[in-house]
Chain A
Amino acid sequence: NAGVTQTPKFQVLKTGQSMTLQCAQDMNHNSMYWYRQDPGMGLRLIYYSASEGTTDKGEVPNGYNVSRLNKREFSLRLESAAPSQTSVYFCASTPGNSGANVLTFGAGSRLTVL
């Protein structure tokens, strides 16, 4: 049981380049999330998808776009990368859209923008 799988694990970009982070879950979860983790700031929600076909902005959505491709997959796109987007990105999922649900996290994607 793989849980939540993120690709790539590491990526180095130059300012202005674009890229997509991929996330897939095999737990039949309805809700999926993208967080970024920066030192001293904890995890901040970028975008989330409460259910297939819906997406909503989180706390720090600027510079990002998302696609809920199907129930399993939720991708995060950086159209024009900036050094401020250097971070570790985590995808997570929950069975449904309840605050009582426990997040299952992927292993993370470390992105460096030069």
Chain B
Amino acid sequence: AQSVTQLDSQVPVFEEAPVELRCNYSSSVSVYLFWYVQYPNQGLQLLLKYLSGSTLVKGINGFEAEFNKSQTSFHLRKPSVHISDTAEYFCAVSEVTSGSRLTFGEGTQLTVNP
């Protein structure tokens, strides 16, 4: 079965600084990888996904993530954050052969300070 670990529970940064949210996964088969974002008092929405092909994936709001198969990682990055990026971010994985059962990481709270 797959598992996901988000290495930082909280990441505080200043506005316009770069940020990286780290995600490692574990699986014995090929996987699909996702980042979802949850703004306060809302449901989750997709930020970006890796299904196949190019290992660098671009998402909404200027975020990107890189799939690294050898290190089993899928870190999320943004070169310059805004106050409005303050939210909780979830990494998630599904195995290619196991249907649509996603496993989520514990979440990383990104707080952007002025």
Chain A residues with a Cβ under 8 A of chain B: 4, 31, 35, 40-45, 48, 50, 58, 90, 92, 94, 96-103, 105-108
A-side contacts of B105, CB under 8 Å: 42
B9: chain A residues at CB < 8 Å are 40
Inter-chain residue pair count (beta carbon < 8 A)? 71
In the assembled complex, which residues on chain A have CB atoms less than 8 Å from the CB atom of B32? 99-100
Q: Which residues of B does A touch, CB under 8 Å?
A: 4, 6, 9, 31-32, 34, 36, 41-46, 49, 51, 90, 94-107
Partner of A45, one of B49, B51, B102, B106: B102
C-alpha spacing A99/B30, complex, angstroms: 11
B44 touches A99 (CB 8 A): no
Q: Would A105 and B44 count as touching, CB distance under 8 A? A: yes
How many Å from the CB of A79 to the closest CB on chain B?
Answer: 24
Of B41, B97, B104, which one neighbours A43 at CB under 8 angstroms?
A: B104
Q: Which residues of B contact A100 (CB under 8 A)?
A: 32, 49, 51, 94, 96
Whole-angstrom distance between the alpha carbons of A50 and B98 in the complex? Answer: 12
| 21 A-B contact pairs sorted by A residue (CB < 8 Å) | A4-B43, A42-B6, A42-B107, A43-B44, A48-B100, A48-B101, A58-B101, A99-B31, A99-B98, A99-B99, A99-B102, A100-B94, A101-B100, A102-B34, A102-B49, A103-B36, A103-B44, A103-B102, A105-B44, A105-B45, A108-B41
